[in-house]
């Protein structure tokens, strides 16, 4: 099942996507903040990851390839992980430089968020980035994410130290930003 945005489609990863995903993952501009560098992902690694994904009704993650609806071109990858059913998940996205500033990333994130809040009933969604990634921080804030945790000087990238940031958005904040969508779940009692 694909998730339909306004300009992108989020569909399951396919074997034919693997080389594209490797190239995206090994690109220092799209993955430079990651602490899992050096960028040495191989086709064997991705094939193994693709083959060994087990089907279960209790999955803790979802991975999608982002496709331009008009051209059919592969744009990037987006997904969620660390799913705690009805509670939380962490999202991540990487798109090719060609599509930076095009609105594709924003549409992909909005599409995934609608699925996570309406389809899975989550209470909070998180993402990780760093203070030097102004494009990611600005986009996340524009969508409604707020800095929830700052690990000072936690990322070394391109010869500089940056703060590692965890940004999040609550269910209540999401639906406040989307009054056109109905929150069909009863609110949970939150002890703060």
Model pLDDT, residue 22: 84
The predicted model scores a pTM of 0.87
Which residue, 134, 160, 136, 165, is CA-closest to 148? Answer: 165
Could you give all domains of the chain from N- to C-terminal order, each with its CATH number?
A: 3-177 (3.40.630.30)
Q: What is the pLDDT of residue 69?
A: 97
Buried b (16+ CB within 10 A) or exposed e, 84-94: eeeebbbbbbb
Listing DSSP states for 39-66 in one string gives ----HHHHHHHHHT----TT-S-EEEEE
Is the pLDDT score of 116 beyond 70?
Answer: yes
* pLDDT, tens digit (0-9, with 9 covering 90-100), for 118-147: 999 999 999 999 998 888 899 999 999 999
32: pLDDT strictly greater than 80: no
| pLDDT of res. 40 | 74
Calculated CA dihedral for residues 34, 18, 85, 178, nearest 10 degrees:
80
Residue-wise pLDDT tens digits, 79-111? 999 999 999 999 999 999 999 989 999 999 999
Q: How far apart are CA 112 and CA 4, in angstroms?
A: 9
Q: Give strand pairing partners of 92.
A: 79
Q: Name which residue leads in pLDDT, 136 or 175.
A: 175
Is the pLDDT confidence value at 112 over 90? yes
User: Please, which pLDDT band fits residue 189 given cuts at 50, 70 and 90?
Assistant: low
């Amino acid at each position: 099942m694909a998730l339909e945005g306004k300009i992108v489609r989020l569909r399951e990863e396919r074997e034919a996507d693997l080389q594209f995903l490797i190239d995206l993952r090994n690109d220092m501009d799209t993955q430079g903040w990651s602490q899992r560098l050096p960028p040495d992902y191989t086709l064997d690694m991705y094939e193994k990851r693709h083959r060994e994904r087990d089907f279960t009704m209790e999955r803790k993650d979802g991975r999608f390839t982002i496709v331009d609806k008009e051209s059919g071109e592969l744009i990037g990858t987006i997904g969620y992980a660390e799913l705690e059913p009805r509670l939380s998940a962490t999202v991540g996205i990487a798109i090719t430089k060609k599509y930076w500033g095009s609105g594709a990333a924003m549409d992909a994130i909005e599409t995934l968020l609608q699925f996570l809040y309406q389809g899975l009933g989550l209470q909070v969604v998180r993402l990780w980035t760093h203070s030097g990634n102004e494009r990611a921080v600005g986009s996340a804030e524009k969508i409604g994410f707020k800095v929830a945790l700052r690990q000072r000087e936690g990322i070394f990238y391109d010869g500089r130290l940056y703060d590692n940031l965890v940004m999040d958005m609550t269910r209540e904040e999401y639906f406040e930003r989307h009054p056109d969508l109905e929150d069909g779940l009863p609110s949970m009692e939150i002890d703060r």
